Amino acid sequence: MHYCPSALRELLASFEPCFTRPGFRHFSRLIVAWVLVSGTHTIARLLPIAQRLGLRRHHASVYRFLSMGRWSISAVGHKVFDLLAPLLSPQVVVIVDDTLCAKSGRQLFGTGIHHDGARSVSGLGRCMEVLTFGHQWVVLAVYVRCPWDACKGWAIPVLFELYRPPKRCPTREYRKRSEIALAQIRLLATWLGPDQKLVATGDSAYCCKTVLRGLSEQVHFVGPLPLDAALYDTVDRLPRRGRPRKKGYRIANPKTRLERWGRAAKRDWQEVEVEMYGRLVTVHLATLVCVWYPSAGHTPVRVVLTRDPKRQHQGRAYVSTDAELSAQEILTIYAQRWQLEVTFRDIKQELGFEDPRNGWWRRAAGKRDDPCRAPRRKQTGKRAVERTAPLAGVVYALTILWYVQSGSRRADIQRARRYAPWYRHKQDVSFANMRTALRKEIWRTRIPKRIRRIATDLWLLAGNAA
């Protein structure tokens, strides 16, 4: 792998046990080509760069590697998690969410019509739901704190799974998004060390009965709590006659507690500063330990209620299955969920997560399939679809890991300010800056020193002449 820097070469070498020898050649060149290519990230656009990097096989071998190769994308995600281990704390925070990739063409495996949350409008007197045809991925990411700024971090994806709608999927193969997320959390829990603790977080679609009741005792979940949730008092574990009770008496729900703002209720609230979204935020909060029996069962949970001191935003409620977490920790962990949305933006706009057009299958001559119903014949291309797009997440993780080890943050910020004089308030590097630095380092490795010296001399002569 003489075509890439030594630091990136060491990172790629850790993936070698996941592949056969020819498969590792394809994987390493595809990753480097994915970093170098600009514009649309299709396999056809990656092939010319991969061939310049030394791929001497026929171009069809790349498609066979993605659709028929003996490797697993979950094993690759396991290696990414192992590379992230030195940057993780004893309390590992993982974020689960789903994202939509717009596609066209009915002969593409796993496509369906899904709700497009980015284009739909809800609130402010308007309600418009937009449906989009394409792939929907359930992603599990690990939150990693930035080494040079403890208030910032990245959500690095490690597990991807394609969600297939029930009308386009056989009944025996259908799984809800919450079931997919639960399986991913259970799998990642097996990768932890003996001294590590796992805390998962997600939005209201995953803070539900399927996930909360399926977690083990060593795994906890932090998420939003509905304002009309049925809460119950905890039960004293005293010996009594008859069947032991699982829940106590019904208590006021979060909506009722937020509406009470009298003198007696104010005693339960306190004004604190919480680290959220990279800064300190002042909120009024109240906390209690109770039982959310419909979703979390009889296990005690900690509920945190928040109010805006300026009354600009409505009150909200959050829940944690770990009653030992403080209210500030619960709010901080849930705020880290937004980093996964930033990751989706980066891998789509910078790495072309929704660009690959791999996994097509041929339909019968003269026939067309209804996109809202299951196909009439068996679809092919399952492995090609499930393996191709997640490679963008692997490239995202390797780019950040390389930059943490070998990047020059101060020089990249100065360069960005020099090329954009109007952007003087830039204080930190973005993923686009990291990818640019890695691309320059790869090209510097490929170009001989003699040619680089001649190009530098010509550049200096041109500057002196001007």
Alpha-carbon torsion (164, 167, 172, 177), positive or negative: positive
pLDDT band (50, 70, 90) for residue 390:
very high
Between β-strands 219-224 and 197-201, what pairing exists: parallel, antiparallel or unpaired? parallel
Yes or no: say if 384 and 67 are a contact pair by the CB < 8 Å rule: yes
Average pLDDT over residues 435-440: 91
Residues composing the chain: 466
Of 76, 74, 60, 98, the closest CA to residue 27 belongs to 76
Tell me how far CA of residue 4 lies from CA of 8, 12, 33, 170, 420, in angstroms.
Answer: 7, 10, 10, 44, 29
Q: What is the pLDDT of residue 380?
A: 63
237 has pLDDT over 50: yes
- What is the pairing mode between strands 279-291 and 300-307? antiparallel
Q: How many CB atoms lie within 10 A of CB 410?
A: 10
Let me know: does 204 contact 223? Beta carbons within 8 Å.
yes
Q: How far apart are the first and last CA of the chain?
A: 40
Radius of gyration, alpha carbons of the chain? 25
Please check whether residue 449 lies inside any domain of the structure.
no
Average pLDDT, the chain: 86
User: Which ranges in 283-430 belong to alpha helices (H)?
Assistant: 293-296, 327-335, 338-349, 382-388, 391-406, 409-419
Q: Is residue 233 part of a domain?
A: yes
Look up the domain containing 235 and give its range: 218-324
Higher pLDDT, 377 or 352: 352
Average pLDDT over residues 294-317: 89
Q: Among 378, 387, 334, 464, which Cα is nearest to 66's?
A: 387
H/E element, 112:
strand 112-115
Please indicate, yes or no, if residue 186 is contained in any of the structural domains. no
| Residue 113 clears pLDDT 60, i.e. is over it | yes
- For residue 312, being part of any structural domain is answered with yes
Return the pLDDT at 54. 82
pLDDT of residue 236: 67
Q: What phi-psi label fits residue 106: left (phi over 0), alpha (psi between -120 and 50 degrees) or beta?
A: alpha
Strands 149-163, 131-146: pairing kind: antiparallel
β 197-201/91-102 pair status: parallel
Taking residues 173-196, report their average pLDDT. 94
Judge whether 278 lies within some domain: yes
C-alpha 190/C-alpha 45 separation (Å) is 37
Instruction: Indicate the range of 35-44, 332-341, 352-361, 376-385 predicted with least confidence.
Output: 376-385
Q: 106: which 2 tokens?
A: 């009915």
Q: Where are the alpha helices (DSSP H) in 72-132?
A: 73-84
What is the β-pairing status of strands 91-102 and 131-146? antiparallel
pTM over 0.85: yes
CB atoms within 10 A of CB 66: 24
**Strand pairing of 121-123 and 126-128?**
antiparallel
Does the pLDDT value for residue 353 go beyond 90?
A: yes
Return the residue matching tokens 């630095």: 437
Q: Is residue 50 part of a domain?
A: no
pLDDT of residue 378: 55
Residue 414 exposure: Cα atoms within 13 Å on the Cβ side: 4
Mean pLDDT computed over 76-105: 93
pLDDT of 210 over the 70 cut: yes
Taking CA atoms, 463 is separated from 78, 101, 135, 417, 440, in Å, by 50, 46, 51, 21, 22
- CA-angle at 227, arms to 226 and 228, nearest 5°: 90
CA distance 165 to 172: 12
pLDDT higher at 30 or 277: 30
Lowest mean pLDDT among 238-252, 401-415, 418-432: 238-252
Q: For residue 463, what pLDDT is reported?
A: 47
176 within domain boundaries = no
Residue 155, pLDDT score: 96
Indicate the DSSP class of residue 168: G
pLDDT for the residue numbered 400? 96
DSSP codes of every residue in 8-36: HHHHHHTTGGGS-HHHHHHHHHHHHHHHH
| Axis crossing angle, helix 21-36 with helix 391-406, rounded to the nearest 10 | 70
Residue 408 lies inside a defined structural domain of this protein: no
* pLDDT tens sequence across 11-61: 999 999 999 999 999 999 999 999 999 888 999 899 888 888 888 888 888
Domain total for the chain?
A: 1
Q: Tell me, what's the pLDDT at 423?
A: 80
What distances in angstroms separate CA 169 from CA 9, 101, 175, 180, one per listed residue?
A: 40, 18, 9, 15
Name the more confident of 371 and 277. Answer: 277
- Binned at pLDDT 50, 70 and 90, residue 121 comes out as confident
Res. 186: pLDDT tops 80: yes
